[in-house]
């Protein structure tokens, strides 16, 4: 009898504490909070605002952006992971908050795979290998030759320890058997100043924020880390087509706390996919250097899990740590 009563009590607790929707119940019926774990004004924050405005119109409820930037996206991501899984809190996730930071920061407070349900994949932003115009190597092959002739003597800059540029550079070193010396900066702007004056000869950095510098001839691109060439720099080859097994991209998408009702996850996915195809949204994403990819929620979940698993050995081999 006691066990039966216990089972009934457990079932009632589950019934009243697990967020559910009836099949015909509308969603949403109140405003949605969109946590953006990045500083206002950056490409990720701008993408969040592009969609929040449009989603408010499509969903009939206000989508409110809540910026919680700090520590490589950890603060915002942990806040999202601990939020009620009721369909009214989503977050804009990216490679930093969901892949890099959990690998390089100790005790981030969340599991990037188990603690989130991934909904709508927006797209990817590649890293570009750029050099000072006076740098003697005219290709990736020539750069590798120089690096092997002078191991550890060539410096490269990144926007900081544990950033996507840093990790792609370490992937490059592992894939090519070269030794380069990392010079971390407090952001891309500081790094670019030294790259332009030839204080450092090369850099691995996000393509979007370097496209105008490339067009102006202030830096010279050698390769991008995407799977295919990108519209923002159609003349720049990928590492893959040059024969190097290297893909490392920033990515953006909508995530929610694990256990968020399926109805909310799928509706958000459908609306984001539709919006990404609208000409004005597509144009704004392109200007941010984002290549849209229509992954399903299941494919998005698998994508994050695979990327997190594959980056672990790179971070460990490079001994990337941020205390």
Range with lowest mean pLDDT among 41-50, 85-94, 157-166, 282-291 = 41-50
- Using CA atoms, how far apart are residues 110 and 257, in angstroms rounded to an integer? 11
What average pLDDT does the structure give for the chain?
87
239-247 long-range CB contacts below 8 Å, 24 or more apart? 239/140, 239/172, 242/139, 242/140, 242/141, 244/140, 244/172, 244/175, 244/176, 245/175, 246/168, 246/171, 246/172, 246/175
CATH top class, domain 20-125+251-318: alpha beta
Report which secondary-structure segment, H or E, holds 313.
Answer: helix 297-318
Mean pLDDT of 209-228: 93
Domain locations in the chain? 20-125+251-318, 126-224
Q: What is the mean pLDDT of residues 71-93?
A: 91
Q: Is the pLDDT of residue 6 over 50?
A: no
* Same fold for the pair 20-125+251-318 and 126-224: yes
Cα separation, 137 vs 104, whole angstroms: 32
Each residue of 16-37: pLDDT tens digit?
Answer: 344 455 555 689 999 999 998 8
Task: Between 212 and 84, name the one with better pLDDT.
Answer: 84
Q: What is the pTM of this model?
A: 0.79
Which top CATH class is 126-224?
alpha beta
């Amino acid at each position: 009898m006691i066990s039966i009563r216990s089972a009934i009590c457990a079932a009632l607790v589950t019934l009243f504490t697990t967020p559910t929707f009836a099949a015909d119940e509308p969603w949403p019926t109140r405003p949605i909070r969109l946590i953006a774990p990045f500083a206002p004004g950056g490409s990720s924050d701008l993408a969040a605002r592009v969609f929040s405005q449009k989603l408010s119109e499509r969903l009939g409820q206000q989508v409110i952006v809540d910026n919680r930037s700090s520590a490589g996206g950890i603060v915002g991501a942990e806040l999202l992971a601990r939020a009620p899984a009721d369909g009214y809190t989503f977050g804009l996730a990216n490679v930093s908050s969901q892949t890099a930071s959990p690998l390089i920061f100790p005790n981030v407070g969340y599991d990037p795979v188990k603690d989130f349900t991934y909904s709508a994949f927006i797209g990817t932003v590649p890293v570009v290998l750029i050099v000072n115009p006076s740098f003697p190597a005219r290709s990736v092959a020539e750069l590798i030759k120089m690096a092997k002739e002078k191991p550890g003597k060539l410096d490269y800059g990144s926007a900081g320890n544990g950033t996507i540029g840093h990790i792609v550079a370490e992937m490059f070193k592992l894939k090519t058997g070269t030794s380069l010396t990392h010079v971390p900066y407090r952001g891309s702007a500081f790094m670019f100043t030294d790259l332009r004056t030839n204080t450092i000869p090369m850099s691995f950095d996000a393509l979007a924020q370097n496209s105008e510098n490339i067009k102006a001839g202030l830096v010279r691109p050698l390769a991008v880390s995407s799977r295919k060439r990108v519209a923002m720099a159609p003349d720049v080859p990928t590492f893959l087509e040059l024969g190097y097994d290297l893909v490392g991209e920033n990515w953006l998408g909508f995530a929610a706390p694990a256990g968020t009702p399926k109805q909310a996850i799928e509706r958000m996915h459908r609306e984001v996919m539709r919006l990404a195809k609208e000409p004005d949204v597509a144009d704004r994403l392109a200007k941010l250097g984002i290549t849209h990819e229509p992954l399903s929620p299941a494919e998005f979940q698998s994508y994050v899990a695979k990327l997190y698993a594959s980056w672990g050995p790179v971070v460990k081999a490079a001994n990337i740590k941020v205390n």
